Amino acid sequence: MASDTQKAIKSPKHLLGIQDLKVSEIKHILNEAQQFIDLNRSKNKKSDILKGKTQINLFFEPSTRTQSSFELAGKRLGADVMSMNITNSAIKKGETLIDTAMTLNAMHPDIIVIRHQDSGACNLLSQKVNCAVLNAGDGRREHPTQALLDALTIINRKKSIEGLKIAICGDILHSRVARSNIYLLTMLGANVNIIGPTNLLPKDLDKFGVNIFTDMKKGVRDCDIVMMLRLQNERMSSSYLSSNREYYEYYGLSPEKLEFAKTDALIMHPGPMNRGIEIDTMLADDINKSVIKEQVELGVAVRMACLKIFCS
Protein backbone atom coordinates (compact mmCIF):
# COMPACT_ATOMS: atom_id res chain seq x y z
CA MET A 1 0.00 0.00 0.00
CA ALA A 2 2.72 2.40 1.01
CA SER A 3 4.54 2.01 -2.27
CA ASP A 4 1.27 2.55 -4.17
CA THR A 5 0.72 5.87 -2.43
CA GLN A 6 4.24 6.92 -3.21
CA LYS A 7 3.75 6.10 -6.86
CA ALA A 8 0.59 8.17 -6.96
CA ILE A 9 2.34 11.21 -5.52
CA LYS A 10 5.42 10.96 -7.70
CA SER A 11 4.65 12.49 -11.05
CA PRO A 12 6.40 10.92 -14.02
CA LYS A 13 9.18 12.89 -15.55
CA HIS A 14 8.76 13.97 -19.12
CA LEU A 15 11.18 14.69 -21.91
CA LEU A 16 9.85 17.96 -23.27
CA GLY A 17 13.06 19.68 -24.18
CA ILE A 18 16.79 19.80 -23.73
CA GLN A 19 16.41 23.05 -21.80
CA ASP A 20 14.80 21.11 -18.92
CA LEU A 21 17.69 18.62 -18.63
CA LYS A 22 20.84 18.74 -16.55
CA VAL A 23 24.22 17.80 -18.02
CA SER A 24 24.26 14.64 -15.90
CA GLU A 25 20.87 13.59 -17.27
CA ILE A 26 22.03 14.15 -20.84
CA LYS A 27 25.14 12.05 -20.22
CA HIS A 28 23.03 9.33 -18.66
CA ILE A 29 20.81 9.13 -21.73
CA LEU A 30 23.81 9.05 -24.06
CA ASN A 31 25.48 6.29 -22.02
CA GLU A 32 22.34 4.20 -22.10
CA ALA A 33 22.06 4.75 -25.85
CA GLN A 34 25.60 3.45 -26.41
CA GLN A 35 24.52 0.06 -25.13
CA PHE A 36 21.64 -0.14 -27.55
CA ILE A 37 23.82 0.52 -30.60
CA ASP A 38 25.26 -3.00 -30.34
CA LEU A 39 21.85 -4.53 -29.76
CA ASN A 40 20.55 -2.83 -32.89
CA ARG A 41 23.47 -4.18 -34.93
CA SER A 42 23.08 -7.75 -33.66
CA LYS A 43 20.94 -10.44 -35.26
CA ASN A 44 18.45 -10.68 -32.43
CA LYS A 45 17.35 -7.11 -31.82
CA LYS A 46 14.62 -7.85 -29.31
CA SER A 47 14.82 -7.02 -25.62
CA ASP A 48 12.12 -7.21 -22.97
CA ILE A 49 12.95 -4.11 -20.95
CA LEU A 50 9.58 -2.54 -21.68
CA LYS A 51 7.58 -5.75 -21.77
CA GLY A 52 4.02 -5.09 -20.73
CA LYS A 53 4.34 -1.32 -21.25
CA THR A 54 2.17 0.60 -23.66
CA GLN A 55 3.58 3.31 -25.90
CA ILE A 56 1.34 5.60 -27.94
CA ASN A 57 2.77 7.59 -30.83
CA LEU A 58 0.73 10.71 -31.44
CA PHE A 59 1.97 12.43 -34.58
CA PHE A 60 0.04 15.49 -35.65
CA GLU A 61 2.60 16.30 -38.32
CA PRO A 62 3.77 13.95 -41.04
CA SER A 63 7.07 12.31 -40.20
CA THR A 64 9.01 9.41 -41.66
CA ARG A 65 12.17 8.98 -39.71
CA THR A 66 11.16 10.17 -36.26
CA GLN A 67 7.92 8.22 -36.18
CA SER A 68 9.42 4.98 -37.55
CA SER A 69 12.43 5.41 -35.29
CA PHE A 70 10.25 5.73 -32.18
CA GLU A 71 8.08 2.83 -33.31
CA LEU A 72 11.08 0.56 -33.86
CA ALA A 73 12.65 1.68 -30.59
CA GLY A 74 9.53 0.78 -28.64
CA LYS A 75 9.10 -2.56 -30.37
CA ARG A 76 12.72 -3.58 -29.91
CA LEU A 77 12.32 -2.95 -26.20
CA GLY A 78 9.26 -5.16 -26.12
CA ALA A 79 6.63 -2.45 -25.54
CA ASP A 80 3.19 -2.55 -27.12
CA VAL A 81 3.36 0.30 -29.58
CA MET A 82 0.33 2.00 -31.05
CA SER A 83 0.72 4.72 -33.65
CA MET A 84 -2.34 6.94 -33.93
CA ASN A 85 -3.34 7.90 -37.40
CA ILE A 86 -4.37 11.51 -36.91
CA THR A 87 -5.98 11.90 -40.31
CA ASN A 88 -8.66 9.35 -39.38
CA SER A 89 -9.10 10.29 -35.76
CA ALA A 90 -11.43 12.49 -33.76
CA ILE A 91 -8.94 15.36 -33.96
CA LYS A 92 -10.01 15.84 -37.53
CA LYS A 93 -13.55 16.11 -36.20
CA GLY A 94 -12.58 19.04 -34.00
CA GLU A 95 -11.48 17.36 -30.79
CA THR A 96 -9.04 19.51 -28.82
CA LEU A 97 -5.60 18.32 -27.77
CA ILE A 98 -6.66 18.26 -24.12
CA ASP A 99 -9.67 16.04 -24.86
CA THR A 100 -7.53 13.70 -26.96
CA ALA A 101 -5.07 13.56 -24.09
CA MET A 102 -7.82 12.69 -21.59
CA THR A 103 -9.17 9.98 -23.87
CA LEU A 104 -5.79 8.36 -24.35
CA ASN A 105 -4.97 8.77 -20.67
CA ALA A 106 -8.04 6.72 -19.77
CA MET A 107 -6.46 3.78 -21.62
CA HIS A 108 -3.49 3.81 -19.20
CA PRO A 109 -0.54 4.19 -21.54
CA ASP A 110 2.91 4.28 -19.97
CA ILE A 111 4.36 6.69 -22.44
CA ILE A 112 3.07 9.05 -25.10
CA VAL A 113 5.33 10.25 -27.89
CA ILE A 114 3.98 13.43 -29.42
CA ARG A 115 4.82 15.53 -32.44
CA HIS A 116 2.75 18.66 -32.94
CA GLN A 117 2.91 21.73 -35.18
CA ASP A 118 2.35 24.08 -32.21
CA SER A 119 5.17 25.04 -29.86
CA GLY A 120 4.34 23.96 -26.32
CA ALA A 121 1.81 21.28 -27.33
CA CYS A 122 3.83 18.62 -25.47
CA ASN A 123 3.91 20.83 -22.35
CA LEU A 124 0.12 21.11 -22.46
CA LEU A 125 -0.24 17.35 -22.94
CA SER A 126 2.12 16.59 -20.08
CA GLN A 127 -0.06 18.61 -17.70
CA LYS A 128 -3.10 16.52 -18.53
CA VAL A 129 -1.89 12.92 -18.52
CA ASN A 130 -0.52 10.59 -15.85
CA CYS A 131 2.10 8.94 -18.02
CA ALA A 132 5.42 10.14 -19.32
CA VAL A 133 5.42 12.39 -22.38
CA LEU A 134 8.26 12.35 -24.90
CA ASN A 135 8.50 15.29 -27.25
CA ALA A 136 9.14 14.25 -30.83
CA GLY A 137 9.12 17.85 -32.02
CA ASP A 138 6.81 20.77 -31.14
CA GLY A 139 6.47 23.68 -33.52
CA ARG A 140 9.70 25.61 -33.65
CA ARG A 141 10.55 24.98 -30.02
CA GLU A 142 12.37 21.71 -29.39
CA HIS A 143 13.20 18.32 -30.82
CA PRO A 144 15.18 16.82 -27.96
CA THR A 145 15.77 13.30 -29.29
CA GLN A 146 17.20 14.71 -32.51
CA ALA A 147 19.73 16.77 -30.54
CA LEU A 148 20.58 13.74 -28.42
CA LEU A 149 21.16 11.53 -31.44
CA ASP A 150 23.27 14.26 -33.02
CA ALA A 151 25.36 14.41 -29.85
CA LEU A 152 25.76 10.64 -29.81
CA THR A 153 26.87 10.67 -33.46
CA ILE A 154 29.43 13.38 -32.73
CA ILE A 155 30.75 11.63 -29.62
CA ASN A 156 31.16 8.34 -31.47
CA ARG A 157 33.27 10.03 -34.12
CA LYS A 158 35.09 12.72 -32.16
CA LYS A 159 35.25 11.12 -28.68
CA SER A 160 33.94 14.20 -26.90
CA ILE A 161 31.90 17.32 -27.61
CA GLU A 162 33.78 19.58 -25.28
CA GLY A 163 35.94 22.10 -27.10
CA LEU A 164 34.63 21.22 -30.57
CA LYS A 165 33.71 23.96 -32.98
CA ILE A 166 30.32 23.20 -34.45
CA ALA A 167 28.48 25.15 -37.16
CA ILE A 168 24.71 24.98 -37.52
CA CYS A 169 23.60 26.44 -40.81
CA GLY A 170 20.28 27.28 -42.42
CA ASP A 171 16.74 28.20 -41.41
CA ILE A 172 17.29 28.70 -37.68
CA LEU A 173 14.10 30.75 -37.21
CA HIS A 174 11.73 27.87 -37.93
CA SER A 175 13.97 25.09 -36.64
CA ARG A 176 13.34 23.13 -33.46
CA VAL A 177 16.37 21.00 -34.31
CA ALA A 178 18.58 24.08 -34.17
CA ARG A 179 17.17 25.21 -30.82
CA SER A 180 17.59 21.81 -29.14
CA ASN A 181 21.09 21.47 -30.55
CA ILE A 182 22.08 24.94 -29.38
CA TYR A 183 21.04 24.06 -25.81
CA LEU A 184 22.66 20.64 -25.83
CA LEU A 185 25.93 21.41 -27.59
CA THR A 186 26.62 24.53 -25.54
CA MET A 187 25.80 22.63 -22.34
CA LEU A 188 28.35 19.97 -23.28
CA GLY A 189 31.03 22.60 -23.91
CA ALA A 190 31.06 23.07 -27.69
CA ASN A 191 31.63 26.39 -29.42
CA VAL A 192 28.58 26.83 -31.58
CA ASN A 193 28.51 28.97 -34.70
CA ILE A 194 25.10 29.80 -36.11
CA ILE A 195 24.97 30.61 -39.81
CA GLY A 196 22.01 31.88 -41.78
CA PRO A 197 20.48 34.85 -43.56
CA THR A 198 19.22 37.46 -41.09
CA ASN A 199 15.66 36.78 -42.25
CA LEU A 200 15.93 33.24 -40.94
CA LEU A 201 17.54 34.04 -37.58
CA PRO A 202 15.29 34.46 -34.52
CA LYS A 203 15.60 37.58 -32.39
CA ASP A 204 18.09 37.79 -29.52
CA LEU A 205 19.77 34.53 -30.52
CA ASP A 206 23.13 36.01 -29.48
CA LYS A 207 21.92 35.76 -25.88
CA PHE A 208 22.01 31.96 -26.14
CA GLY A 209 25.80 31.78 -25.98
CA VAL A 210 26.43 31.21 -29.68
CA ASN A 211 28.32 33.13 -32.37
CA ILE A 212 26.24 34.39 -35.25
CA PHE A 213 27.38 34.61 -38.86
CA THR A 214 25.64 35.64 -42.03
CA ASP A 215 28.71 34.77 -44.09
CA MET A 216 28.93 31.00 -44.33
CA LYS A 217 32.62 30.86 -45.13
CA LYS A 218 33.43 32.76 -41.97
CA GLY A 219 30.99 30.67 -39.98
CA VAL A 220 32.40 27.28 -40.96
CA ARG A 221 36.03 28.32 -40.62
CA ASP A 222 37.97 25.69 -38.62
CA CYS A 223 34.80 23.87 -37.61
CA ASP A 224 34.86 20.20 -36.61
CA ILE A 225 31.22 19.68 -37.50
CA VAL A 226 29.01 21.33 -40.10
CA MET A 227 25.34 20.67 -39.40
CA MET A 228 23.00 21.65 -42.21
CA LEU A 229 19.29 22.25 -41.68
CA ARG A 230 16.45 21.56 -44.03
CA LEU A 231 15.07 24.55 -45.90
CA GLN A 232 11.34 24.40 -46.37
CA ASN A 233 10.09 25.37 -49.78
CA GLU A 234 7.41 27.75 -48.55
CA ARG A 235 10.13 30.11 -47.29
CA MET A 236 10.50 31.34 -50.86
CA SER A 237 6.88 32.31 -51.33
CA SER A 238 6.74 34.27 -48.06
CA SER A 239 9.65 36.51 -48.95
CA TYR A 240 12.17 35.17 -46.48
CA LEU A 241 14.41 34.39 -49.43
CA SER A 242 14.54 35.20 -53.11
CA SER A 243 15.32 31.87 -54.72
CA ASN A 244 16.72 28.38 -54.22
CA ARG A 245 19.58 29.20 -56.52
CA GLU A 246 20.70 32.22 -54.55
CA TYR A 247 20.28 30.36 -51.26
CA TYR A 248 22.46 27.52 -52.46
CA GLU A 249 25.06 29.96 -53.71
CA TYR A 250 25.40 31.63 -50.31
CA TYR A 251 24.21 29.10 -47.73
CA GLY A 252 24.29 25.71 -49.42
CA LEU A 253 27.10 23.39 -48.35
CA SER A 254 29.38 23.01 -51.36
CA PRO A 255 32.88 21.46 -51.50
CA GLU A 256 34.26 24.97 -51.90
CA LYS A 257 32.70 26.22 -48.65
CA LEU A 258 33.58 23.04 -46.80
CA GLU A 259 37.24 23.83 -47.59
CA PHE A 260 37.07 26.47 -44.86
CA ALA A 261 36.25 23.90 -42.18
CA LYS A 262 38.80 21.51 -40.70
CA THR A 263 40.02 18.81 -43.10
CA ASP A 264 38.42 16.10 -40.98
CA ALA A 265 35.17 17.99 -40.52
CA LEU A 266 31.99 15.94 -40.49
CA ILE A 267 28.76 16.81 -42.26
CA MET A 268 25.43 16.30 -40.52
CA HIS A 269 21.81 16.79 -41.54
CA PRO A 270 18.63 15.91 -39.62
CA GLY A 271 16.80 15.06 -42.85
CA PRO A 272 14.88 15.04 -45.02
CA MET A 273 17.40 16.67 -47.34
CA ASN A 274 16.84 19.02 -50.23
CA ARG A 275 19.75 18.06 -52.40
CA GLY A 276 21.10 20.97 -54.37
CA ILE A 277 19.39 23.52 -52.14
CA GLU A 278 21.05 23.30 -48.75
CA ILE A 279 23.60 20.63 -49.53
CA ASP A 280 25.59 19.43 -52.51
CA THR A 281 24.39 15.94 -53.42
CA MET A 282 27.90 14.47 -53.69
CA LEU A 283 28.84 15.77 -50.25
CA ALA A 284 25.69 14.35 -48.71
CA ASP A 285 26.68 10.88 -49.91
CA ASP A 286 30.43 11.16 -49.26
CA ILE A 287 31.06 8.33 -46.80
CA ASN A 288 34.28 9.93 -45.60
CA LYS A 289 32.62 13.18 -44.61
CA SER A 290 28.89 12.68 -44.22
CA VAL A 291 27.49 10.97 -41.12
CA ILE A 292 23.88 11.50 -42.12
CA LYS A 293 23.05 7.78 -42.29
CA GLU A 294 24.75 7.21 -38.97
CA GLN A 295 22.49 9.85 -37.44
CA VAL A 296 19.47 7.84 -38.52
CA GLU A 297 20.96 4.63 -37.17
CA LEU A 298 21.83 6.08 -33.78
CA GLY A 299 18.44 7.74 -33.63
CA VAL A 300 16.86 4.40 -32.83
CA ALA A 301 19.35 3.76 -30.03
CA VAL A 302 18.81 7.19 -28.51
CA ARG A 303 15.04 6.74 -28.57
CA MET A 304 15.35 3.32 -26.97
CA ALA A 305 17.39 4.93 -24.20
CA CYS A 306 14.80 7.68 -23.74
CA LEU A 307 11.92 5.23 -23.66
CA LYS A 308 13.73 3.08 -21.13
CA ILE A 309 14.64 5.97 -18.85
CA PHE A 310 11.39 7.90 -18.98
CA CYS A 311 9.11 4.87 -18.99
CA SER A 312 10.36 3.52 -15.70
User: Within its chain, how far is the Cα of 138 from the centroid?
Assistant: 10
Q: How far is the CB of 258 from other proteins (least distance, A)?
A: 28
Of 176 and 289, the one with the shorter C-beta distance to other proteins is 176
Per-position DSSP letters for 6-47, written without gaps between them: HHHHSPPP-B--GGG--HHHHHHHHHHHHHHHHHHHSS----
Do 140 and 107 meet the contact criterion of CB atoms below 8 Å apart? no
Of 241 and 283, the one with the shorter C-beta distance to other proteins is 241
The Cα–Cα gap between 155 and 31 comes to 11
Residues of the shown chain interacting with other proteins in the complex, contacts defined by CB under 8 A: 19, 96-98, 116-121, 123-124, 138-142, 176, 179, 202-205, 207-208
Q: How far is the CB of 286 from other proteins (least distance, A)?
A: 32
Q: How far is the CB of 104 from other proteins (least distance, A)?
A: 16
The Cα–Cα gap between 110 and 310 comes to 9
The Cα–Cα gap between 101 and 249 comes to 45
Of 71 and 138, the one with the shorter C-beta distance to other proteins is 138
* 3-state SS class at 53: coil
Which helix (DSSP H) or strand (DSSP E) does residue 72 occupy?
A: helix 65-76
Of 43 and 203, the one with the shorter C-beta distance to other proteins is 203
Q: How far is the CB of 94 from other proteins (least distance, A)?
A: 11
Of 105 and 119, the one with the shorter C-beta distance to other proteins is 119
Which helix (DSSP H) or strand (DSSP E) does residue 57 occupy?
A: strand 54-59
The Cα–Cα gap between 148 and 300 comes to 11
Of 14 and 289, the one with the shorter C-beta distance to other proteins is 14
- Residue of 215, 293, 194, 287 lying closest to 257 (CA atoms): 215
Q: How far is the CB of 74 from other proteins (least distance, A)?
A: 25
Q: How far is the CB of 103 from other proteins (least distance, A)?
A: 15
Q: How far is the CB of 16 from other proteins (least distance, A)?
A: 9
Of 142 and 171, the one with the shorter C-beta distance to other proteins is 142
Helix ranges restricted to H, 92-226? 97-105, 121-128, 144-158, 176-187, 216-220
- Residue of 259, 246, 258 lying closest to 284 (CA atoms): 258
